[in-house]
Each structure stands twice: as structure tokens, then as C-alpha cells.
């Protein structure tokens, strides 16, 4: 069941506002068999974003260790679509996200940030960070705090 997207929220500041976009996303991760036998796994991902972000991303991930005990992953994905602002306006373009995930004794740390300078179109100067939420039923959602200077 799809939820109705909530309008992005704005926290005002002197020069630009920090906005928060929220919504669910679907993810498909495909293991790649590189036959290197070096203990590093490579995966390809596709995500379909809904809510305040509407669009899709494609990316690649490298991982070592176990997803449920201890390990690490890095990934880069490029999102293409629209971002709905607090005023309800949709800005279109693309940007890349860099993921760093570390699991230590089943305690996760995840840092996802916009790659500086990666934006295109109306998202050319976007910057921000994303939080991924995985519900007990396995459904994925995001909270994306971002800045887009006025006039973009």
C-alpha cells in the first residue's frame, strides 16, 4: 500500500532553507559474480523512490563481512527524477549519493551524502544527507535533508 507523500518540511535559515523529503522506496539488489575470490562482494542496485522524491536510481556497492554481524559497505547511486520542495514545487534533475555503512557487532552506522558537484538540471547545486529506515516488515523508506538555494 502506497502512502500519500507529505510535503517536504522547511527549517528556515539566513541564506537557504534546509528541507526534509520523505517517502518509501523499493530496492532491487543483484549480486555480481566477479570471480576474484578476494572476499569483496559487488552488487548492482536499482531503487524506485516515491513520495517527495519521485524517480529512480542506479548504483553499485562493494561490501566485506556480514550484513548482520560486522562488516562494511560503500556505494554510489545516481538518482534521476524530481524533488518536491516545501512549497509543493517539483525540481527535476539528477544527483549522486555516496553511502558508507559500517556494522560493528550488530550495531549499524550509515552515512549517505550527496556527492558535491554531482547535481544536474534544477538540482545542480543540491547538497544534503539521507537516512534510510527499514521497518520490521522489511519495507524501506527515506528521510532526505537537503538544501537548494533559492532561484534554482
Residue 49 C-alpha cell reads as 523512490
* d(C-alpha 147, C-alpha 149), whole Å: 6
In the predicted model, is pLDDT for residue 9 greater than 50?
no
Residue 92 C-alpha cell reads as 527535476
**Domain assignments of the chain as residue spans, ordered by start:** 9-147
What is the per-residue pLDDT across 49-90, written as a single tens digit (0 to 9) for each?
A: 999 999 999 999 999 987 678 999 999 999 999 999 888 899
In the predicted model, is pLDDT for residue 8 greater than 90?
no
The pLDDT value recorded for residue 4 is 42
What architecture (CATH level 2) is domain 9-147? Beta Barrel (2.40)
* d(C-alpha 135, C-alpha 85), whole Å: 25
142 Cβ neighbours under 8 A, 6+ residues apart: 21, 22, 23, 24, 25, 49, 51, 53, 130, 131, 132, 133
The pLDDT value recorded for residue 34 is 78
Amino acid at each position: 500500500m502506497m502512502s500519500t507523500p507529505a510535503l517536504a518540511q522547511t527549517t528556515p535559515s539566513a541564506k537557504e532553507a534546509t528541507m526534509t523529503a520523505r517517502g518509501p522506496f523499493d530496492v532491487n539488489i543483484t549480486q555480481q559474480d566477479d570471480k576474484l575470490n578476494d572476499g569483496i562482494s559487488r552488487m548492482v542496485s536499482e531503487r524506485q523512490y516515491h513520495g517527495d522524491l519521485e524517480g529512480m536510481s542506479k548504483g553499485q556497492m562493494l561490501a566485506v563481512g556480514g550484513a548482520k554481524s560486522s562488516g562494511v559497505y560503500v556505494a554510489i547511486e545516481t538518482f534521476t527524477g524530481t524533488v518536491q520542495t516545501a512549497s509543493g514545487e517539483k525540481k527535476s534533475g539528477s544527483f549522486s549519493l555516496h553511502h558508507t555503512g559500517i556494522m560493528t557487532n550488530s550495531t549499524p552506522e550509515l552515512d549517505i551524502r550527496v556527492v558535491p558537484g554531482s547535481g544536474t538540471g534544477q538540482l545542480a547545486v543540491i547538497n544534503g544527507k539521507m537516512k534510510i529506515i527499514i521497518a520490521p516488515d522489511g519495507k524501506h523508506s527515506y528521510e532526505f535533508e537537503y538544501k537548494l538555494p533559492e532561484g534554482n
